[in-house]
Amino acid sequence: AQSVAQPEDQVNVAEGNPLTVKCTYSVSGNPYLFWYVQYPNRGLQFLLKYITGDNLVKGSYGFEAEFNKSQTSFHLKKPSALVSDSALYFCAVRDDGNTGKLIFGQGTTLQVKP
Amino acid sequence: DSGVTQTPKHLITATGQRVTLRCSPRSGDLSVYWYQQSLDQGLQFLIQYYNGEERAKGNILERFSAQQFPDLHSELNLSSLELGDSALYFCASSKGASRNQPQHFGDGTRLSIL
């Protein structure tokens, strides 16, 4: 069965510093991986996806993610954090059946301090 | 703005009651997904519809049902409500049902059972 793990409940970083939010996955075939962000009282916003191709994927708001097949990881990164990046981040993998359902990690709260 | 509209934003009701949550997908999107977000279970997939037909079922209780109408809007019906049904219910949509398409989420309906 497909699964996703986000090992950190919370990540704290100072504004201007690089940030990393970790995600590891377990899939039976090729992984279809996604990152979403959730702001308070809002729905999830799509940031980026990895389907195939380059291991470094660029997304919205300056975020990027690095796919590492050998480590089964898909970490979210940003070179310089902003206070406005503070939110809840979800990593997700697409189900391997003939559906589009997403399987989410438990989420990581990112706190960027000025 | 994701283009996915969910109504109502908030719903407060009592145990044993029945409610209907409504979702209008983005223009042109044929797939609709329903997810439940709660503190203890995280984000859980409930059900998917594609062009009016049920495509996949997740951990959806028998007391819950859904449908997608010819105009592609969808409704999630929750009956015999229990305290544990209190959660945020999200609708998401995508153009098709293939695994590489991102899902776009509405802002959710917050259901509180008293």
Q: What's CA A49's distance to the chain center, in Å?
A: 9
C-alpha–C-alpha distance, residues B40 and A3, integer Å: 17
Average pLDDT of chain B is 94
Of B103, B109, B111, nearest to B22 (Cα)? B109
A65 neighbors A57 (Cβ within 8 angstroms) = yes
Q: B57-94 burial, b if ≥16 CB within 10 A, otherwise e?
A: ebebeeebebebeeebebbbebeebeeebbbbbbbbbb
Q: pLDDT digit string (tens) for A71-80?
A: 999 999 999 9
Helices and strands (H and E) in chain B: how many: 0, 11
Burial of A3 (0-12, 13-18, 19+ CB in 10 A): exposed
> Best interface-test mutation with B: which of A27, A44, A90 has the largest number of B CBs within 10 A?
A44
- Which of B56, B97, B102 is closest, CB to CB, to A46? B102
A5 neighbors A103 (Cβ within 8 angstroms) = no
What is the reported pLDDT for A98? 66
What CA–CA distances, in Å, run from A112 to A15, A51, A78? 6, 29, 12
Q: pLDDT digit string (tens) for A78-104?
A: 999 999 999 999 999 987 766 778 999
C-alpha–C-alpha distance, residues B87 and A72, integer Å: 31
Least confident among A3-12, B5-14, B38-47: B38-47
Question: Which residues from chain A sit within 8 angstroms of residue B92, using beta carbons?
Answer: 43-44
B4 neighbors A43 (Cβ within 8 angstroms) = yes
C-alpha–C-alpha distance, residues A32 and A52, integer Å: 8
- Which of B43, B94, B96 is closest, CB to CB, to A90? B43
Judge: A101–B56 Cβ closer than 8 Å, yes or no: yes
- Which of A49, A99, A107 is closest, CB to CB, to B97? A99
Q: pLDDT digit string (tens) for A21-44?
A: 999 999 888 889 999 999 988 899
Residues of B at the A interface (Cβ-Cβ below 8 Å)? 2, 4, 6, 31, 33, 35, 42-43, 45, 48, 55-56, 58, 90, 92, 94, 96-108
